[in-house]
Structure 1
């Protein structure tokens, strides 16, 4: 048996090839596409698994392949978040009969499926066991990796959807994939959650409680999070620590004498993630207080860019993905670039569904 010594770049290319990527296009460096494929394969092996277990497994596997200046951990976290947002991987609450589940909220692979986009391309979602990208053998050459996402780009009016259906993939309707909540006034949304909170018992404030404080428009999102002060009262989106895992999202009504009512945030049937519920409540609280969160639209000919300064729920990101492309933010948290003809509808959607205001 011959032993071949590989350079780091050669090792990256071989790993990429084993994960279904064109190794020659990786330039010998870790990329979101490679990390995304590694996360899909690891999920098919480990699921149901806790998020931190999946991140740790992939991080430890890929760390030796990173260049000296690479920070593999944050890349794994960012790519996993994208896969969950676009429902390529599913974040779900465990049930009582799942003896193998290692946490209350676990990650699972989505079933092989696809969603059509307005530009004619098709987003491929899910895995099929060891087959990370379950598409017909003659189509991988037409597969484009946009970050961690996989898009099939048809030639002219080629009917790709029937071929994928014949191969066993399920076409998801826009309604089924987006899972948009109903449109309602911000005050009504806050009151519904406040009603649930009033039914909760009063107890001592948990130690280490972080609350998202009201602030003037334009303040960075991360700067809004601070420890609850002694004597502070009111209704807040909060995060409370738990013994293991990430802090839990919750809604708190801080009472005098260091007491509080608390409800943890999640939706029935896993239709919404806890953070999605929390971000929507915070947007409603801000709008009700006359400090609605803002977005900015920058038209440039036939293309427009919408900038966001705070995170938005994953269902809103999925809608924007159907018409546009997410980009790193310039003077904002992140942006979506799209055709100017589509931007008007998305701006209206943001105003009506998330109570945002447009910044001039």
Structure 2
């Protein structure tokens, strides 16, 4: 018997196969994270574009707006890198030794224990996106892009996970942050390094993060160089892999000098350094990027309007919990006891200011 299969039937079946919550046909963030981990198990090592393209192609006929879907996939993929499920490998030599790319590799299975006794599950294996026995895998809960196992009774969850072969990562190491620096000192350091660079010559297809535009609309801040003059966060495409990030001196829209990000020896990603530089630029220009603090039943919700470095996102996800954003880019629910400390963290490390409206 031939039966017509609708898009909703396919979505429901795929969600069930990936272990996503049943009863829904939404291609939400939790589903995208599950699907990307599964693809990464087969396709990595590979470029970010390869994963995004594979996701988009496999969902043709299931989504109406492929461009918007690709943007959502890119955002979730960036989150998986930020939390440590995927690792960036820079300067990968391909067939042409002169051409370098940025590839993604699957992080080995690991976990981070929380003070509550629960644990974050990280990493990917080729066979299973969550490399655990069936009984333990059934206990894994998808909290948006994060995977969490709650402790049961008086069990030693960390010992159990270690016996199953998962590597334990210390919370201190996983949540390590850069050395504290005020905005002026941070920017002066990068300006000095940029000034010491040789002339770059023409940089094709460069995109500029223009701080003079609305700080609550991250995507609309990206623009061509036009006739801009000054030092700017920039990015540019490369033949293989993700876009390259940098800090550039422009004169009438023409690149004079270019400092590649991340710098040699820096453990953070290029985008992490670039986003923090832009936060410092905005703060020193008197238009700091903002966060919104909203009272919630279990504490307060921090709403953010622009991307934040991976180390900041991990901290907020561990101390609080990432929740569905409301008219913003990302949101974190933090208990009342932790709100003051996290506000200080956002102001001291990311130079953010609480929105007044």
TM-score class normalised by the smaller sequence: 0.7 to 0.9
How far, CA to CA, are the matches of 2:60 and 2:355 in structure 1?
A: 41
How far, CA to CA, are the matches of 2:64 and 2:253 in structure 1?
A: 52
Contact 2:102 2:242 in 1 (8 A): no
Structural mapping, 1:1-360, within 5 Å: 8-19=7-18, 21=19, 25-64=22-61, 66=62, 72-96=69-93, 104-215=101-212, 220-230=217-227, 232-242=228-238, 247-255=243-251, 258=254, 260-268=256-264, 271-300=267-296, 302-360=298-356
Contact 2:100 2:240 in 1 (8 A): no
How far, CA to CA, are the matches of 2:31 and 2:298 in structure 1?
A: 32
Report how far residue 140 of structure 1 moved: 2.4
Q: Secondary structure at the match of 1:315?
A: helix
Contact 1:301 1:340 in 2 (8 A): no
Q: TM-score, normalised by structure 1?
A: 0.85
Q: 1:56–1:290: structure 2 CA closer, same or farther, 3 Å change rule?
A: same
Worse overlay, 310-319 or 331-340: 331-340
How far, CA to CA, are the matches of 1:274 and 1:62 in structure 2?
A: 30
Report how far residue 73 of structure 1 moved: 3.0
How far, CA to CA, are the matches of 1:67 and 1:306 in structure 2?
A: 31
Q: TM-score, normalised by structure 2?
A: 0.86
Report how far residue 245 of structure 1 moved: 5.7
Report how far residue 178 of structure 1 moved: 2.2
Report how far residue 146 of structure 1 moved: 1.8
* Gap runs ≥5 in structure 2: none
Worse overlay, 189-198 or 322-331: 322-331
Contact 1:179 1:271 in 2 (8 A): no
Q: 1:262–1:75: structure 2 CA closer, same or farther, 3 Å change rule?
A: closer
How far, CA to CA, are the matches of 1:187 and 1:287 in structure 2?
A: 9
Q: 1:118–1:338: structure 2 CA closer, same or farther, 3 Å change rule?
A: farther
